Structure 1
């Protein structure tokens, strides 16, 4: 019997697989996973740059370049201190969101909702133990 790989291995492996899969899914739109995270955040509500940086800090400390890319693409705009989606950005978001939803469903395929929720809660508690 072989020893199972530790938690850290599976966390890194899964993150790499998600990054790769989402990267392929988003590449058709000239987006990265960070662009998607910014777009997903501002699609929910206009958000300040400071709040975007804070919300996405676990992934990347500063997402100004991604915001600037979305603005150059016409998918986002600055409205005072807030970053918001444009009409074009909303349409792009809706299209990309459907593809991301399909990928997320693929990730959890065959895992009952209660098992998924238990796993997420367990990971949250492990993080809290280290914080």
Structure 2
């Protein structure tokens, strides 16, 4: 911890996240997709419906970039957007074609993840996630008190 050549903890987190984005974007380039396209697809697939306003990716892209991601899916006929005026939300559903394409993209992402994390063991991965989760929860507690 007293290494004079190290950067702060947050720097490592941000740089790692940027590196993940660059690598995932590179592996999805031939499909015309990005990491954030994948996040939207994955959420809609896992939940059956994704809520645009609740998407994790919105923390990383601007509202216009999010609209571009959704528009690209609509143009491909991979998603259907439905406005829910009762909840002031936009619901995102994968179409039949979108669900079929999801399987192909999910396989690419699975291989990408295996290559990304091949330099660490499963135990190291789990330990890192555990440490980050504890730190996040602790900081959220400190922020709310």
Do the aligned residues in 2 keep the contact of 1:45 with 1:84 (CA within 8 Å)?
no
Q: Pick which of 118-127 and 82-91 moved more.
A: 82-91
Do the aligned residues in 2 keep the contact of 1:76 with 1:86 (CA within 8 Å)?
yes
Determine whether 1:84 maps to 2:93. yes
Unpaired stretches in structure 2, ≥5 consecutive residues: 85-90, 141-145
RMSD between aligned alpha carbons? 2.3
Deviations 1:21-50 (A, max 9, x none): 1111112111121111101111123325xx
Matched residue, 1:117? 126
The match for 1:35 among 30, 34, 37 is 37
Determine whether 1:12 maps to 2:14. yes
CA distance in 2 between counterparts of 1:16 and 1:80 reads 32
Aligned residue pairs total: 129
Matched residue, 1:44? 46
What stretches of structure 1 move > 6 A for 4+ residues in a row? Answer: none
TM-score, normalising length: structure 1: 0.82
Do the aligned residues in 1 keep the contact of 2:40 with 2:55 (CA within 8 Å)?
no
Matched residue, 2:143? none
Matched residue, 2:77? 74
CA distance in 2 between counterparts of 1:122 and 1:60 reads 26
TM-score, normalising length: structure 2: 0.75
Structure label with greater radius of gyration: 2
| 1:118, distance to aligned residue in structure 2 (A) | 1.3
CA distance in 1 between counterparts of 2:100 and 2:19 reads 27
